[in-house]
């Protein structure tokens, strides 16, 4: 194994699930990062993939990424995909000197969404494990949990909206959390409960659909954690047609993933519980559909949030902020250390930042610095956006009601959305809003994740940030 150039990762070997597989004759020359070369019949293994680890210093400082870790993910992915492409049944992965990153890369690459395809048409994926003689079993396990949780978030987001209604989402989360066995509590509240709490803003979004809205409250309290919780709020619009302000039909199917924030919150807590992280986290997830009908909220309607503020709904497609407003109010009643909300909130964030980084707005620079650092480590980066008073004025300066769900000015749609949310967080509670609409699906930067489609990003960054967060 050591006879190979150390700049390459020799990391996978396997047993075949078929008698014959294609044999590559290309065995010469350097192997670039992200590429893998297959060798056959080397000792005890019928196939070995050697993947290029590349040079971590090739990442520019301004890329703000831990290049060594990211290269390991890319290499692990390349190796697993090369072997999977030859219908290899079992793949063992070397630790690549960073077993956690190796597990993340291997697991996220070994994913395909195909539950609704008939069994004999499904692509079989190999079993992946850490090689017996490799080091870093503990780190591998951590990466395995993180990669697995992100793949779960991908499935939640990818599942068609008729098969992932608010009710099904709630049941799916309950079932999943029950498998952890570390005391994750899941409460599923109904519309009557939300009405009693005064969540008129949240409930206004569900007026146009027959699917009942739900509100999930998930609690994980790790051993030795503080009494005060960290609050995570996730947008859970299981399908967003836009409502009466209906969206164009092209790509509307993508709006099945408008519950990406909810998927991130659920998967983050699922990972933290499996990792037995010593943190106290509560997840708050408002779940509903946004549909047009004779009973739907109309543009210009005024609704009232849990904190008594009145909101004019000028555009029913700006519904994420309406459901988050009440979820933020409710989360605040627990007097958390800080609140983070995660939402596929605005198309404007994709215009601003593209599909490689999530936008973060924060009232607390310490929290921003910590998530920024976490994003560099996990390779799933974040970028700070402004919370200027200018944007708040655009949302709040109206006669007749307290807020409008649309900004007055042109442009800056992500910033005015964040300014809107800020009105529902108590001034003394540190808060962070993460707009993940840009990194929701089909991202062009992390092609090593294999399959196209919904990404579950930036779940691994959230887990790392919450594990170490200090305010
Ligand atoms: Zn919308």
Task: Output the pLDDT for position 27.
Answer: 60
Between the CA of 53 and the centroid of ligand 1 the distance, in Å, is 41
Query: In DSSP terms, which residues pair with 234 in a beta bridge?
Result: 342
Report the pLDDT value the prediction gives residue 44, as an integer from 0 to 100.
78
Please give the distance, rounded to the nearest whole angstrom, from the Cα atom of residue 240 to the centre of ligand 1: 5
d(CA 469, CA 96): 28
Please state, in angstroms and rounded to a whole number, the distance separating the CA atoms of residues 157 and 260: 6
* 320 Cα: distance to centroid of ligand 1 (angstroms): 6
Residues of CATH 3.40.220.10 domain(s) within the chain? Answer: 8-135
Centre of ligand 1 to C-alpha 246, Å, is 9
Q: What's the confidence (pLDDT) of residue 7?
A: 32
For the chain, the three-class secondary structure string (H helix, E strand, C coil) is CCCCCCCEEEEEEEEECCCCCCCCCCCCCCCCECCEEEEEEECCEEEEEEEECCCHHHCCHHHCCCHHHHHHHHHHHHHHHHHHHCCEEEEEECCCCCHHHHHHHHHHHCCCCCCCCCHHHCCCCCEEEECCCCCCHHHHHHHHHHHHHHHHHHHHHHCCHHHCCHHHHHHHHHHHHHCCCCCCEEEEECHHHHHHCCCHHHHHHHHHCCCCCEEEEEEEECCCCCCCCEEEEECEEEEECCCCCCCCCCCHHHHHHCCHHHHHHHHHHHHHHHCCCCCEEEEEEEEEEECCCCCCCCCCEEEECCCCCEEEECCCCCCHHHHHHHHHHHHHCCCCCEEEEEECCCHHHHHHHCCCCEEEEECCHHHHHHHHHHHHHHCCCEEECCCCHHHHHHHHCCCCCCEECCCCCCCCHHHHHHHHHHCCCCCCCCEEEEECCCCCECCCCCHHHCCCCECCCCHHHHHHHHHHCCC
Q: From CA 370, how far away is CA 465, in angstroms rounded?
A: 6
Spatial separation of the C-alpha atoms in residues 145 and 104, rounded to whole Å: 8
Q: With a cut of 50, which residues of the chain have pLDDT below it?
A: 1-23, 25
pLDDT at 22: 47
pTM beyond 0.85, yes or no = yes
What gap in Å lies between CA 173 and CA 344, rounded to an integer? 19
Q: Considering only CA atoms, which of 311, 287, 296, 203 is closest in space to residue 245?
A: 296
Q: At 318, list the tokens.
A: 């700006």
Q: How confident is the model at residue 451, as a pLDDT?
A: 80
Tokens at 353, concatenated: 């930042």
Q: How far apart are CA 336 and CA 217, in angstroms?
A: 14
Ligand 1 centre distance from Cα of residue 1 (Å): 53
Q: Tell me, in angstroms, the distance from the centre of ligand 1 to residue 248's CA.
A: 11
Question: Ligand 1 center to residue 317 CA distance, Å?
Answer: 4
For residue 175, the Cα-to-chain-centroid distance in whole angstroms is 19
359 alpha carbon to ligand 1 midpoint, in Å? 18
pLDDT at 11: 47
Q: Are 286 and 215 in contact (CB under 8 A)?
A: yes
What is the rounded distance in angstroms from the CA atom of residue 295 to the CA atom of residue 4?
A: 68
> Looking at the chain, which residues constitute the CATH 3.40.630.10 domain(s)?
158-468
Give the catalytic positions in this structure. Answer: 247, 321
User: What digits encode the pLDDT tens for the residues 130-182?
Assistant: 998 899 999 999 999 999 999 999 999 999 999 999 999 999 999 999 999 76
Closest to 22 (Cα-Cα) out of 91, 81, 82, 86 = 86
CATH ID of 8-135, from 3.40.50.2300, 3.40.220.10, 3.40.50.300, 3.40.50.150: 3.40.220.10
CA distances from 169 to 69, 88, 186, 247 (A): 33, 34, 12, 23
- Domain 158-468 architecture: 3-Layer(aba) Sandwich (3.40)
Cα end-to-end distance, the chain, whole Å = 47
What does the pLDDT read at residue 181? 78
Q: Distance, CA 241 to ligand 1 centroid (Å)?
A: 7
For residue 26, the model assigns a pLDDT of 54
Query: How far is Cα of residue 190 from the mean position of the Cα atoms in its chain?
Result: 25
Q: How far is the CA of 239 from the centre of ligand 1 (A)?
A: 9
For CA atoms 162, 165, 170, 171, give the dihedral sign. Answer: negative
pLDDT given for residue 322 in this prediction:
98
Give pLDDT, residue 379.
97
* Res 79: pLDDT: 96
Other C-beta atoms within 10 Å of 6: how many?
9
- Look up residue 20 and give its two tokens: 């014959």
């Amino acid at each position: 194994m050591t006879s190979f150039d150390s700049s390459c990762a020799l990391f996978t070997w396997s047993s075949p699930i078929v008698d014959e597989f294609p044999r590559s004759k290309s065995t010469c020359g350097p192997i670039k990062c992200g590429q893998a070369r297959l060798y056959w019949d080397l000792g005890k293994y019928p196939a070995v993939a050697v993947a290029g680890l590349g040079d971590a210093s090739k990442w520019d400082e301004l890329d703000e990424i831990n290049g060594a870790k990211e290269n390991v993910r890319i290499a692990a992915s390349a190796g697993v995909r090369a072997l999977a492409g030859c219908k290899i049944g079992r793949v063992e992965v070397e630790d690549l000197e960073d077993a956690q990153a190796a597990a993340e890369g291997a697991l996220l690459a070994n994913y395909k969404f195909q539950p609704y395809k008939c069994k004999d048409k499904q692509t079989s994926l190999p079993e992946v494990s850490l090689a017996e003689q490799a080091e870093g079993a503990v780190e591998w396990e951590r990466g395995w949990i993180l990669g697995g949780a992100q793949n779960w978030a991908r499935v939640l987001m990818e599942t068609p909206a008729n098969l992932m209604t608010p009710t099904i989402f709630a049941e799916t989360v309950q079932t999943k959390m029950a498998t952890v066995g570390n005391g994750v509590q899941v409460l599923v509240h109904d519309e009557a409960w939300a009405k009693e709490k005064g969540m008129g803003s949240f409930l206004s979004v569900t007026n146009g659909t027959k699917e009942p809205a739900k509100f999930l409250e998930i609690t994980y309290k790790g051993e030795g954690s503080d009494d005060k919780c960290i609050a995570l709020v996730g947008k859970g619009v299981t399908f967003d047609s836009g409502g009466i302000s209906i969206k164009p039909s092209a790509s509307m199917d993508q709006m099945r993933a408008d519950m990406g924030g909810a998927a991130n919150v659920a998967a983050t807590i699922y990972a933290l519980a499996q990792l037995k992280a010593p943190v106290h986290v509560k997840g708050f997830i408002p779940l509903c559909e946004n549909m047009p009908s004779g009973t739907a909220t109309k543009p210009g309607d005024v609704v009232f949030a849990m904190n008594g503020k009145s909101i004019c709904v000028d555009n029913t497609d700006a519904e994420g902020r309406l459901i988050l407003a009440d979820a933020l109010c409710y989360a605040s009643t627990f007097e958390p250390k800080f609140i983070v909300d995660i939402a596929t909130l605005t198309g404007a964030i994709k215009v601003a930042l593209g599909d490689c980084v999530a936008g973060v707005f924060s009232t607390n620079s310490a929290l921003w610095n910590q998530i920024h650092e976490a994003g560099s480590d996990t390779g799933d980066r974040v970028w700070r956006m402004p919370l200027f008073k200018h944007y708040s004025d655009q949302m709040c300066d109206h006669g007749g009601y307290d807020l409008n769900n649309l900004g007055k000015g042109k442009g800056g749609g992500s910033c005015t959305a964040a300014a809107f949310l800020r009105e529902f967080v108590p001034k003394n509670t540190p808060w962070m809003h993460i707009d993940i609409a840009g990194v929701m699906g089909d991202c062009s930067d992390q092609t090593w994740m294999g399959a196209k489609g919904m990404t579950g990003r930036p779940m691994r960054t959230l887990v790392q940030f919450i594990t170490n967060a200090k305010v």
